[in-house]
Amino acid sequence: MKQHFDIVVVGAGPAGLSAAQAAAREGATVALLDDSPRAGGQIWRQGPGHPPQAQLHALLEALRMQTNVILLPSTRVIAPLGSRGLLLESAEHGGVSISYDRLILATGARERLLPFAGWTLPGVTGAGALQALIKGGMPVRGERIVIAGSGPLLIAALATARVAGAQVVAVVEQASAFEVARFGISLLGEPAKLRQAIAMTRGFARVRYWTGSIVRQADGDGRVERVTILRGQQESTLDCDRIACGYGLVPNITLAQALGCASNEAGEIVVDSEQRTSVDGVLAAGECTGVGGAELAGVEGEIAGLSASGAPASRTSANRTALHAQRARWRRFGKRVEAAFALQAAARTPPDDATLLCRCEDVSLGEVRVYPDWREAKLHTRCGMGACQGRICGAAAGLYFGWEAAAPRPPFSPAQIGTLMAAGGEPPPAE
């Protein structure tokens, strides 16, 4: 299967859906792909008992009306091909080679997981992962859950767990009480966000909410049974059946890096006012350019779609002006979130040397801290060479030791031989 499209959009979350819709409205042929079987990204994840939200439903219906859009679910990017091509692996079609005139990266962000003693025990997940598992049908009714880490994602996980019948024992936030309170007050200027927060925290008074606190250790016989929380200089132990712990989000920029797109110190793809990256023909939108929520992602996606489609500025100037104003507004909100929940010293301090950093290859912090950079650590310990390919331990090592992430090498994920053969004589570029 080989096809050419005016525009290929990678990622079907709020940014990718909005980008595809905007580009298709202007007459471009668009391919929208995502590695999940259903569109929506992490924020609008669907599953049994979790039908599409209103915004997602509206976007999907609008796209289905467009005959110039093809949706490719359960499809992963394996490698770039040539200057404007991609090698994909699709659950339905197998190896797929496509080419494009313009590429929009809407690859989103993943959860930042930070190690602690016992984090490899069954029952430990990320906060966002808990939401995904529940929406995927995992039963948690009656389970005692501790939700920990940092940011609004903890409250979203709380709401999802409570609706599913779980008993949330505590929410453990690493940010200070002052920063959390100041952020809460700032929501008065965003009524929609305030209403959302009130809805998610209904009945919250009965749940412990500890600020300035982090998970120190998880214990149990074969699975999680209790968790130790460090609250300033004091420790508290809580009995629980599950721990969901996530410290914010990390932009997914693997494909952007492989294409040569510039990124900043925060690991975000650098874009201009029209969402164009430093590489000609490649645009980016959503949380891969900076974490700011679904509203910002959607606006950036629409700007990217219009820009990539080549829509005449004279015809779309009023719409673009409004979109740029909305983007500025939601970027300001994103900066407030970033400032309020910035990781404090306790969260940024590595645990003891015996704690595993790389769960895939059983490599401890003590084994890797003696090396000067990520590459040397990988060469000597196999850290980051397991199933997750460093997506989890690499982010933690970067935070703890200041190591720069290694340049990605295709294939970006395990692929079938038949998929690699679909490259059609254009092998993925070597390092």
Q: pLDDT digits over 366-420, tens only?
A: 999 999 999 999 999 999 988 888 889 999 999 999 998 878 888 988 889 988 8
**Residue 220 and residue 196 share a domain:** yes
The helix or strand, by DSSP H or E, that contains position 19, with its residue range, turns out to be: helix 14-25
Q: Which of 223, 247, 271 is the last residue before a domain boundary?
A: 247
**Residue 94 and residue 212 share a domain:** no
Q: Name which residue leads in pLDDT, 52 or 34.
A: 34
Looking up tokens 């929380």 gives 229
Please state whether beta strands 124-125 and 363-364 pair in parallel, antiparallel, or not at all (unpaired).
Answer: unpaired
Complete DSSP assignment for 336-373? HHHHHT---HHHHS---TTSEEETTTTEEHHHHTTSSS
CA 105 from centroid of its chain's CA atoms = 13
**Residue 204 and residue 259 share a domain:** no
CA 330, CA 218: separation in Å to the nearest integer? 37
Secondary structure (3-state) at 153: helix
In a domain, 415, yes or no: no
Our count of domains for the chain comes to 3
**What CATH number does residue 219 fall under?**
3.50.50.60
Closest CA to 185 of 246, 210, 177, 174: 177
The pTM for the full model equals 0.92
Secondary structure (3-state) at 299: helix
In a domain, 416, yes or no: no
Torsion of CA 221, 224, 225, 228, to 10 degrees: 120
CA–CA–CA angle 183, 271, 127 (5° rounding):
40
Q: What is the pLDDT of residues 178-218, one digit of tens each?
A: 999 999 999 999 888 888 888 888 777 789 999 999 999 99
Q: What is the pLDDT of residues 287-344, one digit of tens each?
A: 999 989 999 999 999 999 999 998 887 677 778 899 999 999 999 999 999 999 999 9
Mean pLDDT over the full length of the chain = 91
Secondary structure (3-state) at 215: strand
Q: Which of 211, 232, 247 is the last residue before a domain boundary?
A: 247
Closest CA to 405 of 377, 430, 364: 377
Looking up tokens 């009306």 gives 65
CA 169, CA 215: separation in Å to the nearest integer? 14
**Residue 130 and residue 106 share a domain:** no
pLDDT for 367 equals 96
Residue 404: CB atoms within 10 A of its CB come to 12
Q: Which domain holds residue 34?
A: 2-110+250-339
In a domain, 407, yes or no: no
Q: Where are the alpha helices (DSSP H) in 65-204?
A: 127-135, 153-163, 177-186, 191-200
**Residue 197 and residue 88 share a domain:** no
The answer to whether the beta carbons of residues 161 and 128 sit under 8 Å apart is no
pLDDT band, residue 47 (cuts 50/70/90): low
In a domain, 95, yes or no: yes
**Residue 203 and residue 147 share a domain:** yes
The answer to whether the beta carbons of residues 33 and 72 sit under 8 Å apart is yes
In a domain, 89, yes or no: yes
In a domain, 119, yes or no: yes
pLDDT at 134 over 90: yes
CA 155, CA 388: separation in Å to the nearest integer? 26
**Residue 257 and residue 209 share a domain:** no
The answer to whether the beta carbons of residues 194 and 188 sit under 8 Å apart is yes
pLDDT band, residue 421 (cuts 50/70/90): confident
**Residue 360 and residue 320 share a domain:** no
Torsion of CA 195, 196, 199, 203, to 10 degrees: -100
In a domain, 408, yes or no: no
The answer to whether the beta carbons of residues 310 and 361 sit under 8 Å apart is no
Q: Which of 191, 221, 247 is the last residue before a domain boundary?
A: 247
pLDDT at 425 over 70: no
**Residue 98 and residue 20 share a domain:** yes
In a domain, 430, yes or no: no
**Residue 331 and residue 381 share a domain:** no
**Residue 224 and residue 101 share a domain:** no
**Residue 206 and residue 257 share a domain:** no
